Amino acid sequence: MEDKNKLFDSEFFKILQNLNINIKKSANYGASGARKSRVKGTSVEFSDFREYVPGDDFRRIDWNAYGRFDKYFIKLFMEEREALINIFVDSSKSMSFGEPSKSALALRLAAAFSYIALNNLDRVCINSLKNKELKSIEALSGKLMLQRALSYLKDIEHEGTTDINASIVKKEFNSKGVSIILSDFFTDNGIEETVRYLTYKKQEVILIHILSPEELEPNYFGQVKLVDSETREDRNIILNPSIMKAYKKQLTTFKNSLKESAAKYGASYIEASSEESIDKIILEKFTRNGVVSSVR
């Protein structure tokens, strides 16, 4: 089992410092944040600072802060609202499979999204999915809340099964936002109901499909005993080229069905192998799909 303390070391966060989660719709809820709001008003109540980035109004630079820190900071006011990022982590036993495990990557990506959101003054709510249940922490806000998010992720135990549809429909949404699901999507009844529900609740949906190298390119032949990691049911089969060909065809069909459900409701679908480096997934796949972008 991976040492969860090593999943979130300082090197891990260095690549995330200048990234932002893209949100197509303007935020119109919450307290202060770094996103432009459509909410009209005349409030000039000071809320927070953030570091200046190209494109910001230079008239809002705080010169006193510059004199103290030798860096440019701008003032944020109450018209700028935070976005709410919901992260759903599949906590079923099947996520523990693979070398490295799918769960290790899921936790690292959940931590990455949490860091990026909190670093940009958005709010984060982490939700774990297990069986038909949904367990959530309160929404976190502010950079100092990262440790609480990481502590919650470290305590997640992967066991049992998961019914993503049954779990996520229990989540109540009071505002627009972003919903990110990290899973192998080995769940009953597909995920179209989930994506439809989240879209109805005005969520921008991001599906991160995590599979292990053994699932993507199995290297088994001859007589083997397959054991379902969630139900513990087993089956003895003989793996030959025709069986492997059929497996790969079924896997392609499975992935295509997820892509189709995502496309139908305007969601993003990104596939990742648990052996891929975190920087490749974030800096290449996420940026290419418009999930994150650099703020500098």
Write out pLDDT tens, residues 211-254: 999 999 987 666 666 555 656 666 676 777 888 899 899 999 99
CA 135 to chain centre: 16
Element (H, E) at 271: strand 268-273
CATH code at 4-20+81-294: 3.40.50.410
What's the pLDDT tens digit per position in 97-107?
999 999 999 99
Give dist(CA 59, CA 74) in Å, integer.
9
| Domain coordinates in residue numbering, the chain | 4-20+81-294, 30-80
- Answer whether 208's CB lies under 8 Å from 183's CB: yes
Q: How confident is the model at residue 3 (pLDDT cuts 50, 70, 90)?
A: low
Please say if the pLDDT value at position 35 is more than 80: no
Task: Tell me the mean pLDDT in the region 28-57.
Answer: 51
The total of other beta-carbon atoms located within 10 Å of residue 166's CB is 18
234 within 8 A of 227, measured Cβ to Cβ:
yes
